[in-house]
Amino acid sequence: MTTTDERPLPAPIDALLRYRWVVVWGVLLAVALVLQASPARAAVPWLLGGGSAIAAVPEAVRMIRTLRGGRVGIDVLAIAAVASTLAVGEWWAAAVVVLMLLVGSALEESAAHRARERLSALIADAPAIAHVRVDGGDRDVPVADVAVGSSLVVRPGETVPVDAVLATAAMLDLVRLTGESVPVEAAPGDRVSSGAVVVGAPIACRSVASAVDSEYQRVVRLVADASASRAPMVRLADRYALPFTALSATIAAIGWIVSGDPVRFAEVLVVATPCPLLLAAPIAFVSGIGAAARSGVIVRDGAAIEVLSRVRCVAFDKTGTLTEGRPHVTAVRAVDRAPDELLRIAAAVERGSGHVFAAPIVAEAERRGLHPLAAEAVTEAAGAGVHAVVGAEDVVLGTARFLEGLGVHPAPSAPAAGESVVDVAVGGRFAGAVLLADQPRAEAREVVTALRGLGVEHVLLVTGDRTATAEAIAARIGIDEVHADCRPEDKVRVVRDAQPRPVAMVGDGVNDAPVLAAADVGVAMGARGSGAASEAADVVVLVDDLRRLVDGVRVARRTVRVALQAIGVGIALSIGLMLVAVTGVLPALTGALLQEVVDLVTIVLALRMAGSVRRGRERAGATADRSAVPRA
């Protein structure tokens, strides 16, 4: 498959564009230095003062907007530092403060750019062409034009263009979707997400979703949302803006009052500029979002990762989230023949059915090595049962009510909680029943235990299924609060009332979309879940493995810890410099230069500790089994 033709700019040009205002300001400072050493030195105050005032306008606009919104943001100190140094004629100090702000913004953008580059690799690799098999030949068509049900061929090294069902065995590289470094095997009949890369021989498959509804394109949309979101990331720093601003203003005022010199006020505010607050949270959060993405968890924005880090209550949907979402045959109860013979007959009838129980019955017959029989004259009553002729005998499968409508009276099967029954009649007589149940995910109990170990105080199950079934699943997983028979609006009510806050809701179905949007943070199991659920969620787990939810919480908590530590170090260093500056031994220009050092320390700390997010995630996931093929 070919990909988009967009090419990145050469690195020097890209860096120049991102640092363009720093370059412009550097040129202005160089001109000022030349003028300072020339007879035209009288122009320096006009050049530096006027340039600093103009450069501070965007920051002043942001400050006014913040104040109008009823909040004191971190912009106030930056404007106060520039204004005070200009007011007392410290032109070079004002210019250095402006340089500091410009460099800080450029470094923040650079860190965000690197994280977005890692995430946007998905977009760059999006397939544009699909090979559609028509009349025995292959025709290349745009991926957007691939219809559901089309027969496709994907060649070695190419990307599966849309969600599909395999017609042949395949070896797939899932690194783009799950981060797995080892290719996995997939069997005929497996549903595979778009974005998987074919390794080895070409494969044949049948599309089951259009391009816009396929997994890979959903991921691309989520990545775009996550990469574009920057504003919410400053919220963590804004919590410290008011006390830090008040403390800085108090120290500066004391210095002015005691010394009687307004320059002292400017000298303190110069070293109180809030670049540590401006830089630490965004850099750490963007790096955390990138680390989560490499773990197979897409976080839409910094606000979501912050809320996820503080989650104290988790609500789970049942089907497809805590359970496998695929019924399995649990028992075959035959009346007048061997159980394998009854299963063989049932599989023959179900082979052409689209009912949810058909595939597991056929799969169980194949697992037992039963030779398939041929079924003829198959007719199906949607949601009720199916009738066919197998070996000259009439065979009917379905609900007890369906069989009773045909004059057959099934014997009670006494299913256990959570089991469903498919009754079977052969030759007009009840022949037995096949029992099926949706099993809990193998990792479900481990995940619930791990979440509690991470500080989650309350775990509950919220499902539309029957009470007996829900309670049986909850008991096996270790959940002691169950809300069953819930309609979508009931789920919303339960989650809104749940305590303690914040509450995370984890689901995968279309009916989960409202509650995912209503929760403090919604988590969608996107590997097999509906597009509606993924679009409504704040966090999407791309891998069909519930343990990635635990990885996401760990990454979120470590990310916020990184940001807080970097903010703390930056504030502590700034306060130390303010206490020195208030004594009058730290000239404004020297203080501005020292504040640059504080900024660099904060930046290096945030970036260095962001690496620990990635290493921690890798250690946490090292023991997990990552061999499952993601389902479309």
**Residue 584, phi-psi category: left (phi > 0), alpha (psi -120 to 50), beta (remainder):** left
| Residue scoring higher pLDDT (608 or 194) | 194
Residue 249 in this model has a pLDDT that exceeds 50:
yes
Residue finishing a domain among 397, 421, 440: 440
pLDDT for res 631: 34
Active-site amino acid positions: 317
411 and 329 in a single domain? The answer is yes
The CATH number of the domain where 395 resides is what?
3.40.1110.10
51 falls within a domain: no
* Helix (H) or strand (E) run with residue 314 in it: strand 313-316
Residue 485 in this model has a pLDDT that exceeds 70:
yes
pLDDT for res 304: 86
336 and 402 in a single domain? The answer is yes
pLDDT for res 622: 44
Give, as one character, the DSSP assignment of residue 227: H
The three-state (H, E, C) secondary structure of 385-449, written as one string:
EEEEEECCEEEEEECHHHHHHCCCCCCCCCCCCCEEEEEEEECCEEEEEEEEEEEECCCHHHHHH
465 and 425 in a single domain? The answer is no
| Residue scoring higher pLDDT (508 or 584) | 584
Residue with tokens 């002729």: 389
Please give the C-alpha separations between residue 245 and each of 277, 421, 453, 494, 587, in angstroms, as whole numbers.
11, 68, 37, 41, 21
The arithmetic mean of pLDDT across residues 554-574, rounded, is: 87
Q: Tell me the two tokens of residue 60.
A: 């002043």
340 and 410 in a single domain? The answer is yes
Residue 141 in this model has a pLDDT that exceeds 80:
yes
Please give the C-alpha separations between residue 457 and each of 313, 429, 460, in angstroms, as whole numbers.
6, 54, 10
407 and 479 in a single domain? The answer is no
Nearest to 204 by CA among 260, 130, 154, 271: 154
Nearest to 285 by CA among 112, 493, 505, 501: 112
Please give the C-alpha separations between residue 386 and each of 141, 224, 371, 404, in angstroms, as whole numbers.
38, 46, 21, 13
408 and 540 in a single domain? The answer is no
Task: Tell me which of 132-146, 204-218, 569-583 is least confident.
Answer: 204-218
Host domain of residue 417: 324-440
Give, as one character, the DSSP assignment of residue 320: I
pLDDT for res 332: 96
404 falls within a domain: yes
The arithmetic mean of pLDDT across residues 252-261, rounded, is: 92
The CATH number of the domain where 481 resides is what?
3.40.50.1000
Report the chain's C-alpha Rg in angstroms: 32
Q: How many CB atoms are closer than 10 A to CB 492?
A: 19
Residue 2 in this model has a pLDDT that exceeds 50:
no
Q: How far is CA 15 from the centre of its chain?
A: 28
Task: Tell me which of 347-356, 427-436, 533-542 is least confident.
Answer: 533-542
480 and 536 in a single domain? The answer is yes
Residue finishing a domain among 440, 470, 492: 440
Percent of the chain with pLDDT over 70: 80
Which pLDDT band, with edges at 50, 70 and 90, does 162 fall under? very high
- Return the biggest CA–CA distance within the chain: 113
Please indicate, yes or no, whether the overall pTM of this predicted structure exceeds 0.85: no
User: What are the tens digits of pLDDT across the range 357-391?
Assistant: 888 999 999 999 998 899 998 888 765 789 999 98
Which pLDDT band, with edges at 50, 70 and 90, does 1 fall under? very low
Give, as one character, the DSSP assignment of residue 274: -
Which pLDDT band, with edges at 50, 70 and 90, does 5 fall under? very low
| Residue scoring higher pLDDT (466 or 474) | 474
Residue 232 in this model has a pLDDT that exceeds 70:
no
* CA–CA distance, 121 with 123 (Å, rounded to integer): 5
| Residue scoring higher pLDDT (529 or 242) | 242
236 falls within a domain: no
Which pLDDT band, with edges at 50, 70 and 90, does 47 fall under? very high
Contacting residues for 433 by C-beta, under 8 A, at least 6 apart: 332, 333, 410, 413, 421, 422, 423, 424
Residue finishing a domain among 392, 412, 440: 440
User: How many structural domains are present in the chain?
Assistant: 2
Nearest to 180 by CA among 162, 199, 202: 199
pLDDT for res 621: 44
462 and 547 in a single domain? The answer is yes
Which pLDDT band, with edges at 50, 70 and 90, does 229 fall under? very low
User: What are the tens digits of pLDDT across the range 185-227?
Assistant: 888 998 888 888 898 789 999 999 998 888 777 766 655 554 4
* CA–CA distance, 414 with 587 (Å, rounded to integer): 87
Q: Tell me the two tokens of residue 206.
A: 């049948």
Which pLDDT band, with edges at 50, 70 and 90, does 3 fall under? very low
Please give the C-alpha separations between residue 329 and each of 186, 359, 360, in angstroms, as whole numbers.
22, 10, 7
496 falls within a domain: yes
207 in Cβ contact with 164 (< 8 Å):
yes
506 falls within a domain: yes
Please give the C-alpha separations between residue 489 and each of 414, 513, 532, 622, in angstroms, as whole numbers.
33, 11, 16, 39
464 and 505 in a single domain? The answer is yes
375 falls within a domain: yes
pLDDT for res 274: 67
Which segments of 229-338 does DSSP mark as H helices, in order? Answer: 235-238, 241-259, 262-271, 275-294, 302-309
Q: How many CB atoms are closer than 10 A to CB 621?
A: 18
The arithmetic mean of pLDDT across residues 514-530, rounded, is: 76
pLDDT for res 206: 95
Mean of pLDDT over the chain:
81
The arithmetic mean of pLDDT across residues 590-613, rounded, is: 73
Percent of the chain with pLDDT over 90: 32
Residue 501 in this model has a pLDDT that exceeds 70:
yes
Can you spell out the DSSP letters for 126-147? ---EEEEEETTEEEEEEGGGPP
454 and 317 in a single domain? The answer is yes
Residue 630 in this model has a pLDDT that exceeds 60:
no
Q: How far is CA 513 from the centre of its chain?
A: 15
Which pLDDT band, with edges at 50, 70 and 90, does 338 fall under? very high
Which pLDDT band, with edges at 50, 70 and 90, does 80 fall under? confident
pLDDT for res 4: 38
373 and 427 in a single domain? The answer is yes
Residue 616 in this model has a pLDDT that exceeds 60:
no
381 and 419 in a single domain? The answer is yes
The arithmetic mean of pLDDT across residues 121-130, rounded, is: 72
159 falls within a domain: no
277 falls within a domain: no
* CA–CA distance, 11 with 82 (Å, rounded to integer): 33
Q: Tell me the two tokens of residue 54.
A: 């103009």
| Residue scoring higher pLDDT (250 or 69) | 250
